[in-house]
Amino acid sequence: MRVATPPEFRSPAATSFTVPPFGFVECPVMFTPARNGVFSEEIEIDSDDPNHPAIRVAVRGRSAAGLATVPDRLDFGPVRIGTTAKAHVWVTNRGPAPFTLAGVISTDPAIVADPGFTSLAAGQTGEVTVRFQPTGPKSVHALVAMRFLGSPPQVVVLTADGSGDPDLVSTSDQDRSVVWYENLGAGQCQVPR
């Protein structure tokens, strides 16, 4: 197979590759525009499949000077109640003018963001530490919004998910045949035999 991409979109899979029978191959596509605007193109995937010799996939991208967040979604997974997990997000100013951080808000108090910067000059990247501290055995889905003053003002939103895990199942370091279950929750737990 061969992937042909328009100039604003690139794929490392642009060289030949083989898809096994009943299998699949992921073809990542990166949007790398040289100018601002909306781009709508088709990526063509050519193959030796007699039923589908060519497949076209529509792609669309929008570029603008402003702020970019990587990643824009965090998944903390299960985190032991009473402990804190942390992850990092990077915000980059892709525009020609500076942005000043004006506020940060989260829709759930178990997930908070702590930017390590107060402003971003043109081309500068700043690190944001995001912490998840579950207070109970529940799933948490939060939106974290960072408001920036600049021209024009912008709001960067990221999503964060996690769950409080009151219990812990472990194996012994010395003897893998020994397993224990620790109930860290407030309620009684019965383990069936």
Q: Given 63, 92, 114, which residue is the final one in a domain?
A: 63
75 and 98 share a domain?
yes
* Residues 81, 142 within the same domain: yes
Residues of the chain with pLDDT under 70: 1-6, 12-15, 34-37, 62-65, 167-193
Asked if 48 and 123 sit in the same domain, the reply is: no
Range of 10's domain?
2-63
Strand positions, DSSP E, the chain: 2-4, 9-10, 30-31, 37-46, 54-63, 67-70, 73-80, 85-93, 99-106, 111-115, 119-120, 125-132, 139-149, 154-165, 167-171, 179-183
Calculate what percentage of the chain has a pLDDT beyond 70.
Answer: 76
Kindly state whether residues 57 and 141 are assigned to the same domain.
no
pLDDT in tens, 2-29: 555 567 777 766 567 787 888 877 777 7
How is 85-132 classified by DSSP, letter by letter?
EEEEEEEEE-SSS-EEEEEEEESSTTEEEEES-SEE-TT-EEEEEEEE
The count of domains in the chain is 2
19 plus 85 within the same structural domain: no
Residues 77 and 129 both lie in one domain: yes
DSSP structure class, residue 12: G
Please, which residues bridge with residue 173 across strands?
none
Indicate whether 89 belongs to any domain.
yes
The model carries a pTM of 0.58
pLDDT of residue 17: 75
